[in-house]
Amino acid sequence: MRQLLRAVIFGILGYLIGAALTWLIRGGSMGDEVCVVFGYILGLIGWLFGIGMGDTWVREWFGLPARKYEVTGWKRYLGFSTDHKVIGVQYLATFIVVLLLGGVAAMIIRFELAQAGEGILNADRYNQVMSMHGILMVAVAVAAILGSFGNYLVPIMIGADDMAFPRLNAVTFWLIPPVAIGLLAAPTLGSFDAGWTAYPPLSVVNNGGQILFVLAVTTFGLSSILGGLNVITTIVTMRAPGMTWGRLPIFVWGAFSASLISLLTTQFFAASLILIAMDRVAGTVFFNGGAGGDPLLYQHLFWFYSHPAVYVMVLPGFGAVLETITHMSRKPLFAYKAVVVSFLSIAGLSVIVWAHHMFTSGMAEYLHGPFMFASEMISVPTGMVFLSAVATLWRGKLWMKTPLFFAMIWIFQFLMGGVTGIFLADVVTDVSLHDSYFVVAHFHYTIMGGMLFAFLTGIFFWFPKITGRMINDRLGIIFALWLTIAFQLTFLPQFWLGTNGMNRRIADYPEQLEGANLMSSISAFILGSSFILFVYILLSGAIRGPKAGGNPWNASTLEWQVSSPPPEHNFSGQPTVVGHPYGYGTAGSRHAEFADVTVAAAPPEQPGTDQGGDHE
């Protein structure tokens, strides 16, 4: 708590010093964008110093011992903790809140669009709410699974006691609050209205809130890069003895391939945003077509990251869903090696498809063919993931609890997204559908369907591990069906709207399109309200759900062989991995042995395989 308070004070002081110094040097007003930029940079440094970098790194640079705070209980979650499980929960809670905020923005958008004409929002406000919804949800999609389950589970699954760089991990998380504050403070400078894509020249000439968008999202990119670096290093160097690459649980592979993309491509997004900041405050003309710059340059840089980012969102999702399917259907993951190759191929292909977002941008026409070809090729490794999911279910012993329900619905949702993606990868149909509501429907199926449903799968699958308690399964299934049906009724009409002449990012539309919009809006409210049930399920489960024990699903991977929640440093003795993670159906198959006691991978006859019993 003291750290947090100190961080807030240092952050504010940093901001004031930065802004005031800039103002003293150049004159003008303290609210000018230049002052905001330097204020933000010093504020960010002050915040990081105050939250814990000052106590650790900075003291050590001067030969002093790092200062430690003994905090226990819930207060750990409000401070600079280096425990990967605390950080995982910090991510989880933060991004559920951001998800709900973005959801409120979505409800406002659908309220406005329920009828043609101007409703509760004027066009300006609409663009601002839409842009806020976009960037909040993109942030959730990029960081929610990788940040929460990546941190919480990857070290346990590979038999390590923490991440490779625990302090860096803490910094990675504590970079997120300035992002949220920056975005939510944008209305004080007139908000931003250029969508989450922030195409110039609009993003160079619009209100001052755009500069906060640029600063916040660049900070978020820094967090992604550091997080990716940490996950990769952890997986490469911290695997338990015997944990060969061929024995890694599939979720670890998902996190690994997504982190590769984060580490190697996020810089391009940051660079493009910094160029926008320069165009805004330093008088450069990178994107000014009239002065020798080129607006298309931004689009190339932006999509060079932002298309791969889609796979940062869904690859950990693939991992979470396949993990759930193999454990809950009690069958080995079908074609494990082919799936791993597919994950890595997706990561590789993801960086050569970006210009399929630009078929109508006016870029050179000879580029259309190659980018269309590369984009269509992504359907091959993705198809392999579908085969693995469905073939693992086939003839399994399906235990239809909430997580498996969500995993199976995920297959359906992401397939919808994948199939409609073909229409957008194909130049001929894209020329018609680009920037229409068809695109809106498509990416809600891929990102909401593909990432959010995987996130929910993961939440319900690992909830007992993280909280030590079970949720009300009947309510979980009601939530799954409620959400899924409302989802179809919300987004199916939007495909029709797109082919019938409704473009995206508009506050108003021709009145002939009113019927489908009204249907979409009403369904969206039903969809939105399902999240009240979601929050209730989580809270009631966490507070008074029945005790889960160490291994409620009787699953084989390492995280289930320790107590729920796992003890500090995860394992009492060093686990040694001796076999495949998914040895279901093979008598005597074992994944790991512990120093003191041997644990069978998944002996169906012995329910009580947990090591430490129930922990409060």
Binders in 355-414 for other proteins, by CB under 8 A: 360-362, 365, 368-369, 372-373, 376-377, 379-380, 383-384, 386-387, 390-391, 393-400, 408, 411-412
In the complex, what is the shortest distance from the CB of residue 201 to other proteins, in angstroms, rounded to a whole number?
5
Q: From CA 222, how far away is CA 171, in angstroms rounded?
A: 10
Q: Under a CB-based contact definition with an 8 Å cutoff, are residues 374 and 446 in contact? A: no
Q: From CA 304, how far away is CA 298, in angstroms rounded?
A: 10
Q: Residue 28 or residue 501: which is nearer to other proteins going by CB?
A: 501
Q: Residue 191 or residue 230: which is nearer to other proteins going by CB?
A: 191
Q: Name the β-bridge partners of 464.
A: none
Q: Which of residues 471-510 bind other proteins (CB under 8 A)?
A: 496, 499-501, 503-510
Q: From CA 76, how far away is CA 71, in angstroms rounded?
A: 6
Q: Under a CB-based contact definition with an 8 Å cutoff, are residues 616 and 547 in contact? A: no
Q: Under a CB-based contact definition with an 8 Å cutoff, are residues 513 and 502 in contact? A: yes
Considering only 97, 419, 532, 597, the residue that binds other proteins (CB under 8 A) is: 419
Q: Residue 84 or residue 580: which is nearer to other proteins going by CB?
A: 580
Q: How many residues bind other proteins (CB under 8 A)?
A: 97
Q: Under a CB-based contact definition with an 8 Å cutoff, are residues 397 and 328 in contact? A: no
Q: Look at strands 592-593 and 576-577 and give their pairing.
A: antiparallel
Residue type, 323: E
Q: Under a CB-based contact definition with an 8 Å cutoff, are residues 156 and 559 in contact? A: yes
Tokens of 415: 């397939």
* Span interacting with other proteins, options 323-331, 449-457, 516-524, 565-573, rule CB under 8 A: 323-331
Q: Which of residues 295-314 bind other proteins (CB under 8 A)?
A: 295-296
In the complex, what is the shortest distance from the CB of residue 456 to other proteins, in angstroms, rounded to a whole number?
17
455 CB contacts (<8 Å, ≥6 apart)?
144, 145, 317, 320
Helix (H, G, I), strand (E, B) or coil at 592: strand
Q: Under a CB-based contact definition with an 8 Å cutoff, are residues 111 and 199 in contact? A: no
Q: Which of residues 61-90 bind other proteins (CB under 8 A)?
A: none
Contact status: 196 vs other proteins (CB under 8 A) = no
In the complex, what is the shortest distance from the CB of residue 170 to other proteins, in angstroms, rounded to a whole number?
37
Q: Residue 431 or residue 595: which is nearer to other proteins going by CB?
A: 431
Q: How many residues does the chain have?
A: 616
In the complex, what is the shortest distance from the CB of residue 344 to other proteins, in angstroms, rounded to a whole number?
15
Q: From CA 508, how far away is CA 180, in angstroms rounded?
A: 29
In the complex, what is the shortest distance from the CB of residue 154 to other proteins, in angstroms, rounded to a whole number?
23
Residue type, 585: G
Q: Which of residues 325-344 bind other proteins (CB under 8 A)?
A: 329-338
In the complex, what is the shortest distance from the CB of residue 126 to other proteins, in angstroms, rounded to a whole number?
8
How many Cα atoms within 13 Å fall on the side-chain side of residue 85?
20
Q: Which of residues 15-44 bind other proteins (CB under 8 A)?
A: none
Q: What is the DSSP letter of 28?
A: S
Q: Which of residues 592-611 bind other proteins (CB under 8 A)?
A: 602, 604-605, 607
In the complex, what is the shortest distance from the CB of residue 280 to other proteins, in angstroms, rounded to a whole number?
15
Q: Which of residues 104-143 bind other proteins (CB under 8 A)?
A: 123-124, 127
Residue type, 111: F
Q: Which of residues 254-293 bind other proteins (CB under 8 A)?
A: 288-290, 293
Contact status: 450 vs other proteins (CB under 8 A) = no
